[in-house]
């Protein structure tokens, strides 16, 4: 799994758990690491249509514990609010120090890679949300000088 076995300290770092439909979570981790390099304290949880959802919920909790060794918190990033991955992520919030961000995109992950070692959980969430929104663009509008 991506993000495993990286030989540097993860204490004092916000952990990331990416939970998506299909294999998208693994591909997001791969894309992020392609841009910013290997990352510690990152786990991917892939939800398939035939999966046992209680087992996936347990996998999410286990991943949260694994990436939050320093106790600074975890951001659970999901592909779509209201979908099964998002609902599962939300269902574990009370059992762990975590926030859930739905609507994951690559700019969010790149931003989180740069701020999660020095910012609080809430600050990281704000940075991710801002980056995610900022980089949603319609090419023809950008080329025409519009927003």
Return the residue matching tokens 């076995």: 5
Rounded-to-integer distance, Cα 101 and Cα 78, Å = 6
Report pLDDT for 36. Answer: 98
pLDDT under 70 in the chain at which residues? 1-11, 147
Strand order in the sheet with 42-47: 42-47, 15-21, 74-78, 98-102
Rounded-to-integer distance, Cα 66 and Cα 45, Å = 13
Domain boundaries, the chain: 15-143
Return the residue matching tokens 């510690």: 40
End-to-end CA distance of the chain: 38
Report pLDDT for 42. Answer: 99
Could you read off the pLDDT of 10-45 as tens digits, one per residue?
448 999 999 999 999 999 999 999 999 999 999 999
3-state DSSP assignment of residue 35: helix
Report pLDDT for 146. Answer: 74
Report pLDDT for 73. Answer: 98
Report pLDDT for 7. Answer: 42
Report pLDDT for 147. Answer: 62
The answer to whether residues 17 and 109 touch, using CB atoms and an 8 Å cutoff, is no
Rounded-to-integer distance, Cα 75 and Cα 57, Å = 15
Rounded-to-integer distance, Cα 46 and Cα 23, Å = 5
Beta-carbon contacts of 31 under 8 Å, excluding residues fewer than 6 positions away, are: 106, 109
Report pLDDT for 1. Answer: 41
3-state DSSP assignment of residue 101: strand
- What CATH architecture applies to the domain 15-143? 3-Layer(aba) Sandwich (3.40)
The DSSP-derived string for 69-119 is TTSS-EEEEESSTTSHHHHHHHHTGGGTTEEEEES--HHHHHHHHHHTTTS
Return the residue matching tokens 């909790």: 61
């Amino acid at each position: 799994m991506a993000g495993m076995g990286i030989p540097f300290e993860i204490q004092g770092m916000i952990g990331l758990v990416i939970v998506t439909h299909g294999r998208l979570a693994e591909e997001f981790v791969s894309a992020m690491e392609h841009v910013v390099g290997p990352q510690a304290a990152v786990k991917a949880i892939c939800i398939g249509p035939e999966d046992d959802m209680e087992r996936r919920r347990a996998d999410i909790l286990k991943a949260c514990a694994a990436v939050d060794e320093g106790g600074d918190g975890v951001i659970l990033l999901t592909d779509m609010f209201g979908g099964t991955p998002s609902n599962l992520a939300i269902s574990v919030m009370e059992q762990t120090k975590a926030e859930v961000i739905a609507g994951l995109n690559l700019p969010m992950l790149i931003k989180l890679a740069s701020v999660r070692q020095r910012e609080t959980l809430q600050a990281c969430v704000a940075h991710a949300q801002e980056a995610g929104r900022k980089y949603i663009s319609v090419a023809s509008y950008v080329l025409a000088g519009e927003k």
